[in-house]
Structure 1
Amino acid sequence: MSRRLKFMSFNVRSIQSGFLTLKEYVVDCAADVLGLSETWLTPDIDSSSVFINDFNVVRADRNSRGGGVAFYVRNGIAFKILHSNITAVLEELWISVKVNQRKYCLAIVYRPPSANVLDCFHQLTESLTNLSLDNDYAIVMGDFNINVLVNDGRSEMLNCFLESFDLSQLAHTYNFQ
């Protein structure tokens, strides 16, 4: 039987502070892959403290407070870590997932508000160009800290980036209480 890949992403602004709510949501929503930005995890925090049954967690942590990105991938879904990079302009984690003989290149990214937008998109363009070649689909999730409702230079750069890779923006909000 064929299945669809279900994926989503959240900016969690500290995974540990709302972890129980996030965990309940993940179990209820039946997502296969969950990308998280601003995990606020550091290398000294063990993955067992953010364990969710039936999922593997893959992290790219900052060495200081804030930032960080991670993926939860449902057990039974074959995946491979392609790349992770934490810089001052972009925090990124890339994986490849295979479902129904199709390979998906998935990224979870975070651009800190103080980071240069142009430098961020240069780094992201380089990563996407190099990493998506052997995949059927590319999906970039995360938080660019760009208000797309305001027509300014930042939102124009985001739109140009999306157009150059034939990507579409999908955005919905959900607040965990």
Structure 2
Amino acid sequence: MKKANKRLTILNINCQSENKKIADLHQVIDQVKPDIIVGTKSWLTPDICNSEIFPKDLYCIYGKDRTGRKGGSVFLAISVDSLSSEQPELDTNCELLWAKVDIIGVKSIYIGAYYKPQENDTESINGLSRSLQRIPTRSNIWLLGDFNLPKYDWVKQELKPNCKFTNTYKNFFDIMNDHNLE
């Protein structure tokens, strides 16, 4: 179990076919030395062993592979030095995966890897909302991934003028606000 005074380092990575970039991933891991890796669009499938991708004995790997079509999928790689557990009760019908990390002296942290495949994907947003509603109230929540919101200015925190799907964006940010996520 991690101690509260140690800083957590997180690597959020949009892989675009991780199994073809193993050497690059290992180089980034060696440089950054992340405690937690959140990955989207890994294209990993059940027939690829985690040990083929991730450095052995360094991480507990949790994954949600896309089935039925190529691409997508999300994973969490959490240092074996951390006490972590996958949270299957938070699963919904979208590309979202949760793990809980326990740190001495701090409330548990729910870490989510989320991939919204299309800009106007309301079904994925609704799945995210249902999942967030299942997390115990007053929990620490860290949601990372690929939100696929290209018409949002993240610096100014506003929609760009040419946004075609304003209701989808509004719904997403209403959900974020409802759960105190920023």
Q: Which range, TM-score by smaller chain?
A: 0.7 to 0.9
Distance 1:86 1:9 in 2: 21
For residue 57 of structure 1, give the secondary structure of its aligned residue in structure 2. strand
CA distance 1:14–1:70, shift in 2 (3 Å): same
CA contact under 8 A between 2:84 and 2:102: conserved in structure 1? yes
Among candidates 93, 101, 110, match of residue 105 of structure 1: 110
Q: Which runs of 5+ in 1 are unaligned?
A: 169-177
- 1:62-101 matched pairs, under 5 angstroms: 62-63=66-67, 64-83=69-88, 85=91, 87=93, 90-101=94-105
Number of aligned positions between the proteins = 164
* Aligned CA distance change for structure 1 residues 86 and 123 (closer, same or farther; 3 Å): closer
Task: Please report the TM-score for the alignment, with normalisation by the length of structure 1.
Answer: 0.82
Residue identity opposite 2:21 in structure 1: G
**Contact map agreement 1:43 1:62 (CA 8 A) in 2:** no
Larger Rg: 2
CA shift digits 1:15-41 (9 cap, x unpaired):
112221111112211211111001101
Deviation per CA, 1:137-176, whole angstroms, max 9, x where unpaired?
00111112111233531333332222221111xxxxxxxx
Q: CA deviation at 1:86?
A: 7.1
Q: Deviations over 1:35-90 (max 9, x none)?
A: 10011011111222112141222111112310111111112100010027474xx2
Classify 1:124/1:140 alpha carbon distance in 2 versus 1 (closer, same or farther; 3 Å). same
1:37 and 2:51 aligned: no
The percentage of aligned residue pairs carrying the same residue is 21
Equivalent runs, 1:17-166 vs 2, <5 Å: 17-53=20-56, 54-63=58-67, 64-83=69-88, 85=91, 87=93, 90-102=94-106, 103-113=108-118, 117-130=121-134, 132-133=135-136, 136-147=139-150, 148-149=152-153, 150-151=160-161, 152=163, 153=166, 154-166=168-180
Superposition TM-score, scaled by structure 2 size: 0.80
**Where does structure 1 differ by over 4 angstroms across 4 or more consecutive aligned residues?**
none
User: Cα 1:21–1:51, aligned 2, differ >3 Å: closer, same or farther?
Assistant: same
Q: Distance in 2 between matches of 1:122 and 1:9?
A: 23
* Equivalent-residue separation in structure 2 for 1:136 and 1:14 (angstroms): 32
- In the TM superposition, residue 134 of structure 1 has moved relative to its aligned partner by 6.4
